[in-house]
């Protein structure tokens, strides 16, 4: 690997680097997300969950979160434990969701699509979201 590639700033590296201040800054769930989740039951997926601000405050039956930043997932796990929210967290790309077809009852994809580095992966991420959601 050449030196330039080694020091290339990727989205994953950016979010790993800012995970701590972002976790302190973005504590509250988005109001639209709260409205969407009202009365939801079953398995809920948060794509690009970051530090888990949406499932820290909302206790659904089963929470799942994926993110490409291991450091963001660290804070998501820490916050969920503090809030006594059970959740399954996985390091994964939104364009390659590690779940079976028709697995989730509902999903969030709030403020993460713009962090996916190219149009093809963004499109694949939406396809993956529909794949893992129940009809």
Q: Which residues on adjacent β-strands are paired with residue 44?
A: 63, 106
Looking at residue 5, its pLDDT comes to 57
Percent of the chain past pLDDT 70, that is, above it, reads 87
Q: What is the per-residue pLDDT across 57-103, written as a single tens digit (0 to 9) for each?
A: 666 679 999 999 999 999 999 989 988 888 999 999 999 999 999 99
Q: Which two tokens stand for residue 27?
A: 């504590």
Q: What is the per-residue pLDDT across 105-118, written as a single tens digit (0 to 9) for each?
A: 999 998 888 888 89
Residue 132, helix vs strand vs coil? helix
| Banded pLDDT at 123 (limits 50, 70, 90) | very high
Can you give the pTM of this predicted structure? 0.84
Alpha-helix residue ranges (DSSP H) falling in 38-111: 53-57, 70-82
CA angle 61, 63, 65 (to 5 degrees): 170
């Amino acid at each position: 690997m050449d030196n330039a590639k080694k020091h290339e700033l990727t989205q994953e590296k950016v979010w790993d680097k800012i995970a701590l201040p972002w976790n302190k800054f973005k504590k509250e769930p988005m109001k639209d997300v709260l409205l969407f989740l009202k009365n939801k039951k079953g398995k809920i997926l948060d794509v690009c969950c970051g530090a888990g601000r949406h499932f820290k405050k909302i206790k659904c039956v089963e929470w799942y979160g994926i993110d490409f930043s291991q450091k963001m997932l660290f804070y998501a796990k820490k916050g969920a434990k503090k809030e006594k929210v059970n959740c399954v967290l996985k390091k994964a790309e939104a364009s390659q969701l590690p779940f079976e077809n028709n697995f989730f009852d509902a999903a969030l994809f709030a403020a993460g699509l713009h962090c996916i580095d190219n149009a093809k992966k963004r499109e694949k991420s939406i396809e993956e979201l529909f794949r893992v959601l129940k009809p």
